[in-house]
Structures are given as structure tokens and as C-alpha cells.
Homo-oligomer: A and B are copies of this chain.
Amino acid sequence: MSIEEQVAGLYEVLHRRRDTRREFTGAPIPPDALHRVLTAAHAAPSVGLSQPWDFILVRDGTTRRAFRDHVHAERSMFNAQLDPERAEVFSRIKVEGILESSLGVVVTYDPDRGSPAVLGRHAIADAGLYSVCLAIQNLWLAATAEGLGVGWVSFYREDVLRRLLHIPAGLRPVAWLCVGPVAGLPDQPDLERAGWRNRIPVEDVVHHERYRERSSR
């Protein structure tokens, strides 16, 4: 494969990637593909090479139903904060595909990995948390390339998820990712399609030499 093809292929995957809720088929994930996806996540950069992530693969239906019920309760909590017009838009938005997807992947952050002196973290405590997110994006892109959808669920309380999966108190759950084969990926983000919020032009987020103020959106 030429360099040009490799570059084109990466951009194709990167722009095709979507946050998936509706399109899961529930079909099993080929074990080889899952292994490649997890290996991709684990190949992410990390502060001080701490590799502070863990991936808990959740297939059990009872666990998933318990989590889904909690997410639905949190969805109602958020809904109660909205004015009627936003609530109407929100009512059309699906926020999770926990049971429809084939697998839950819970990603956690372990601040003790590589401690006491994590190189590059003494001034910025959150740098370890940032590393975990880089791994998540690797996972997301690899899954997209493999024909799998990924949906990040964030309507939950960290303590509830910690208790549900026996995650030690010192660790922090960062994401519940719904993962699995999909019928397809939509061209537009769900939230844009539903009229919740639009994508903004890239020019609006690029600055030169220093931050320039502009009207917030």
C-alpha cells in the first residue's frame, strides 16, 4: 500500500466514525477483531509510559440491564433540567445502546500505575486521565475500521458503575462503551440529525500565536 493510500484510508475511517446508539445488530464480535481493537487501545501514548488504563469486557445480561436501568434514571434527571423546547428535542434522542450492542467495554483509570513518580504528571495531575482518553479514541477508530460501532455512554454516576463491576475505590471509571457490529453508520452525528446541536466550522476553533476572543456558542 502506498503512503497516499494509507493516509486516505486513515482519514476515511476517522471521518466515518460515529457515536453509535441505534445501529447495533447484536451479532457477536469476531474474537480476532476484538483482540486487534484492544491492542490498538493499549498502543496509545501515556504520560510517563504509565499505561494507566484497564478494559472490563461486560457481556453478562444481568449486569448490563442493571446499568441500563441506572442510565435511564440519569436520563430522566437530565431531562428535568431542560426547558420544554429542549426537552422536546431531547425526547427524540437515544442516549445508549447498552443491551442492543454485543459488548460493554468499561474503561478505567488507575492513578497508581507507574507511581510514585510518573514522568510528566507532577505539574498536571489529570495527565493520567488524558492518557486513558487517548486509548479510548484508538479503540474507537480501530473498531470503526473493523466494521464495529462504538457508543460512549456518560449518563451514569461513577460510584454506581464502580460498585457494579467491583472496581477498586482508587480507580476511576472513565467510560462505558457499547461495542458491536452495526447495520451501518449514519453520515451525520445523531445530535445534529435530531437538531440538538450543529457541527461548527474548523476555522472557528483555530487561533494563531495566542487565543483570540470571540462570541461563545
Contacts and interface: CB of A to CB of B under 8 A. Distances in A.
Nearest to A33: B7
19 contacts: A1-B9, A3-B147, A6-B145, A11-B142, A14-B138, A51-B199, A53-B205, A55-B206, A55-B207, A56-B208, A57-B207, A78-B117, A95-B119, A114-B217, A120-B154, A121-B154, A123-B157, A138-B141, A165-B210
Interface in A52-76: 53-60, 63, 74
B55 A205 contact: yes
Interface string A182-199: 000000010110001111
A217 B118 CA distance: 12
A213 B207 CA distance: 45
A10 B7 contact: no
Chain copies in the assembled complex? 2
B120 A95 contact: yes
Interface string A1-37: 1010111111111110111000000000000000010
Given A13-B6, A14-B138, A54-B211, A155 B123 contact: yes
A90 to B, nearest CB: 7
Interface in A32-53: 36, 38-40, 42-45, 47-51, 53
Interface in A110-159: 110, 112-114, 117, 119-124, 126-127, 129-130, 133-134, 136-138, 140-142, 145-147, 152, 154-158
A113 B216 contact: yes
Contacts of A175: 130
A25 to B, nearest CB: 17
Nearest to A35: B202
Contact of A133 (B13, B130, B209): B130
A1 B5 contact: yes
